[in-house]
Amino acid sequence: MANAAWMVASDHRGHGVERRFAEYVIDQARERGYLGMQFNVVATNTGAIALWESLGFEIVGTVPDAFRHSSAGLVPIHVMYRKL
Ligand SMILES: CC(C)(COP(=O)(O)OP(=O)(O)OC[C@H]1O[C@@H](n2cnc3c(N)ncnc32)[C@H](O)[C@@H]1OP(=O)(O)O)[C@@H](O)C(=O)NCCC(=O)NCCS
């Protein structure tokens, strides 16, 4: 298992940086023998959820009230997973 946090500088968002990086990480993990990949994604983060779904991840579970959002209060976290 490995952990990662994903953030693209705000003035470079929307240009495909994250998609290319995510594809690279998936390929590298597969080459290194990982069998699956899982992320916890805050449910309000619709952009990240759309990205991971477009790359074959699905929501396999949701933890209620798992993240204290600065404006939305306690929000769920989705567990997103795909086989490699
Ligand atoms: C989420 C984040 C990493 C995306 O990085 P990015 O380089 O702008 O993303 P890309 O340009 O590669 O877009 C990839 C996909 O993400 C989704 N996406 C990105 N920004 C989006 C937005 N504002 N609204 C909806 N979908 C969005 C789309 O599905 C997009 O697919 P497309 O290429 O078909 O348009 C970036 O916005 C970020 O750093 N956000 C703050 C930190 C964060 O939320 N990290 C994720 C934690 S799981």
Indicate whether residue 23 lines ligand 1 (CB < 6 A). Answer: no
- The CA-based angle 15-79-58, given to 5 degrees, is 65
> Which residue owns the Cα nearest ligand 1 atom 37?
13
Report pLDDT for 5: 74
Instruction: Give the torsion sign (CA, 45, 21, 33, 82).
Output: positive
Stretch 41-48: mean pLDDT, rounded?
94
Q: Taking 60 as the threshold, does the pLDDT of residue 64 lie above it?
A: yes
Q: So where are the chain's domains?
A: 36-84
- Global pTM reads 0.86
pLDDT at 34: 96
- The confidence score (pLDDT) of residue 27 equals 97
Q: Is 45 in the pocket of ligand 1 (CB under 6 A)?
A: yes
Contact 17 CB / ligand 1 (< 6 Å):
yes
Q: What mean pLDDT comes out for the span 9-36?
A: 95
Residue of the nearest CA to atom 21 in ligand 1? 47
Can you give the pLDDT at residue 6?
78
